[in-house]
Structure 1
């Protein structure tokens, strides 16, 4: 891809942005390769990383050949492609005291909102058909959470007087849930919460028996103990929550500070990535040995994420998560973390 000047750069970027918003599944690989070449040329950090590896962007013809940028680069570098306008937000990961956290600059808020909305609605339906109750105490204590930013947009889009955030006012949230249970209006209800807050609610002395009659209630776990509770297996957490909330399944969201796309699980820990996202797995002992969905579903590998919505940062991220593929192409399970990675608020439980 020849990049001549700022005008042509802006035109290329706008063209890629439009292709992301109009993306069909059959065009994913072609668009991913175009974005790779764009970022290989116009992202200084990624360009330097590729040069260090002696990788020539024009010789890459397959997604499994693309080098993925280690996620740790977001801790001490500004990962930016091209010359976008000033950031409208800077997201930061959570971390314990003394840990260096990741920063992800958001240069195109409307792209993030459009992509995350489309992903959610393709999985669950129109946001206007939802009441959204977000139990996110640890996230709300910060002002730089990408999850809170996304949920604020979802809450506004739902146009529901019952939608909102909850920090310590759990009783108010339960009052709204009880009202919606006894006064159904045909809308769905999404109770989305950070893991430790959902567990605290489940193990409280509150009467939650009314939930068993709420067939339109979806309970979604965003992961993360935030140092508030002992880490548990996802299965253990979901067993507790299904019993306490009388739910058939606990849904989950897979996302993180360094990503602008999400994956969702409708139960059993099996995630389906959004339209702008694809999961590949790398060999645990060789980070440059990367496989697509033909990789054995019984084998665990490091999760690499292609996130096309990261147009202005980097779309090719080597995470510190461990996973395996599901039996259906594109689906995946999150198994935990590499031992040497930081413990922070990424949306999963550790082993």
Structure 2
């Protein structure tokens, strides 16, 4: 049986947790705490809150968010990867003391219906058949239809409430070509209908349905869902396609610029602390210089600073290799 060797003495070589020599050892015991954005020992809401707290918005972002809130219009946010487009939604919800963000990640197969609600007709049919079999009666009572209807993230955001919900529609540019136009009527009307509930008899005019975030079931009257406070809708796009003019004119548009040196320093401090900020001036300057030659995201800088400032230090030659790897441009050949 293989024996476990003690970890090597504290030195730059001690940085290597994995040695690659095939000999078991206890080096993992000296691994420093993970970066704040890679901690998984906390519930998802807490991690998202931490991300929201550390977000730093520039003046233009603040102005356009307020414009969207005042006008009750969706905010269409574009920008390069890593500029905080998605995190903005969590920051807005946190600062305004609103309920957790409703999240709708878009793919090429996403449809408006998926965002609004889902009716599990097959599940209800199965339960109806089971009840009839157990009661030996063809006219057995049908199960509550509300248990088989779940509102999607957009549908949940449009429920009537005093304070709006924040809805993040992430990466809309990945959608089918029709989805942006399909959203127009819902945004203009501030509501939608559930046909399966509209057809119910008068004595079932109010049905309690499930929501996207798993909270208590909510009442829907005559199949109509209409907001009283228009949600704060933040739509992100990586700029991979153009949207129809009719869609664009119904949105407030925001282009998030890449952060400058002072904003980067504030982001570093928010994530890694004041000491890391003081130690990272040279890395920030190098990052800015590299960014003029290729596409880099802010989280690449954070990764480089974490490696340079946390726990044991890697040998100088290794740090240079790591810096080249971590700060490799996203648009470099072979990325």
TM-score by length of structure 2 reads 0.26
Instruction: Return the structure number with greater helix share.
Output: 2
Max radius of gyration: which structure? 2
TM-score normalised by length of structure 1: 0.26
Specify which structure has the bigger relative contact order, considering alpha-carbon pairs within 8 angstroms and separated by 6 or more residues: 2
